[in-house]
Amino acid sequence: MDRRETAKDDWDVGGRRFSSRLLLGTGKFSDRGTMVEAVRASGSEVVTVALRRVGREPREDDLADALRGLPGITLMPNTSGARDAAEAIRAARLGRELTGSPFVKVEIHPDPHHLLPDPLETYEACRALAAEGFVVMPYMPADPVLARRLEDVGCASLMPLGSAIGSGRGLATAEMLRLIVRDARVPVIVDAGLRSPSEAAAALEMGCDAVLVNSAVAGALNPVGMAAAFARAVEAGRAAFRAGLIPRGRGEAAATSPLTAFLGEEPR
């Protein structure tokens, strides 16, 4: 689809309209206050949360209070911790019960070493959850064939990884992302692996609709400052995409100033 069409540059997913193209994860922040300030600085309208069993200390880790300070934010519970489709479906139902949000980030990564998504279990979970009426947002390998299959079962967006979760390796999957973006009929959100705002800008420049970051912000020396930097980079990348980049050259120069008749001499 042509992502340059709309005059006002909002985007839609799951029947909701958003203006910010930066989604933020809430994990790994040193404290809840910093997390809330980072969400504000990011301008994000969609934030991810996780679910866990209540521990022995009832007050530990409770994020619900902090999130009440962020009115108007769409919560997207993830299914992290799920090792297969059945566990992810169960986690999604719990997340909906707890947050009241129909959005779910389907995240099934059975191997803690690389945290790469299981394509078969992800597909099965997405198919079932879309049929149950969830707004399904799959964290997925950057695979154009799987992307099409996930669209066909009713996913509201595609969230291919740039590189492994938390790795800070940026857009290692750039060539595959281009293919996904070219053919996608739903929003494409690069999820995972980004380290720097310039990588987020590059994702938007290539036509991705949004990016989701967490570690890059939460782990920064100044998370609130980094959240603001990502917000500006995403805006710049999107503006560049809409403005239309020049074709990539083959290495020869193409002069920007006239090369003829300077002081009566022709160039050699």
Partner 1 sequence: MDVKLTVNEEAYETRAAGSVTTLLDEMGLAGQAVVVVLNGEVLPAAARDEQALREGDRVDLFRIVGGG
Query: According to the binding rule CB under 8 A, does residue 112 interact with partner 1?
Result: no
What residues numbered 58-77 form the site for partner 1, per CB under 8 A? 58-59, 61-64, 67, 75, 77
What residues numbered 182-201 form the site for partner 1, per CB under 8 A? 192
Decide the pairing of beta strands 159-160 and 135-140: parallel
Q: Which of 8, 53, 185, 268 touches partner 1 by CB under 8 A?
A: 53
Query: What binding mask, one character per residue, do residues 77-96 give for partner 1 by CB under 8 A, x or -?
Result: xx-x------------xx--
Tokens of 136: 């399904």
Residue 249 contacts by C-beta under 8 Å, 6 or more apart in sequence? none
- C-alpha 32/C-alpha 73 separation (Å) is 16
Of the listed 3, 21, 96, 105, which one is catalytic? 105
Min dist CB 49 to partner 1, Å, is 5
Nearer to partner 1, 26 or 74 (CB): 26
214 Ramachandran zone, left/alpha/beta (phi>0; psi -120 to 50):
alpha
Between CA 26 and CA 35, with CA 29 as vertex, the angle to 5 degrees is: 60
Nearer to partner 1, 39 or 144 (CB): 39
Taken in order 127, 134, 187, 209, the sign of the CA dihedral is negative
Q: Which amino acid is at 85?
A: A
The number of residues that bind partner 1 (CB under 8 A) is 35
Min dist CB 199 to partner 1, Å, is 16
- C-alpha 136/C-alpha 129 separation (Å) is 7
Residue 8 is a catalytic residue: no
Nearer to partner 1, 27 or 119 (CB): 27
Tokens of 243: 């403005």
- C-alpha 150/C-alpha 183 separation (Å) is 13
Neighbours of 179 (CB within 10 A): 15
Q: Which of 13, 14, 44, 48 touches partner 1 by CB under 8 A?
A: 48
Query: According to the binding rule CB under 8 A, does residue 27 interact with partner 1?
Result: yes
Q: Which stretch binds partner 1 (CB under 8 A): 146-154, 208-216, 239-247, 254-262?
A: 208-216
- C-alpha 263/C-alpha 183 separation (Å) is 52
Catalytic residues: 105
Residues near partner 1 (CB under 8 A): 25-29, 35, 48-54, 58-59, 61-64, 67, 75, 77-78, 80, 93-94, 97-99, 165-166, 192, 212, 214-215
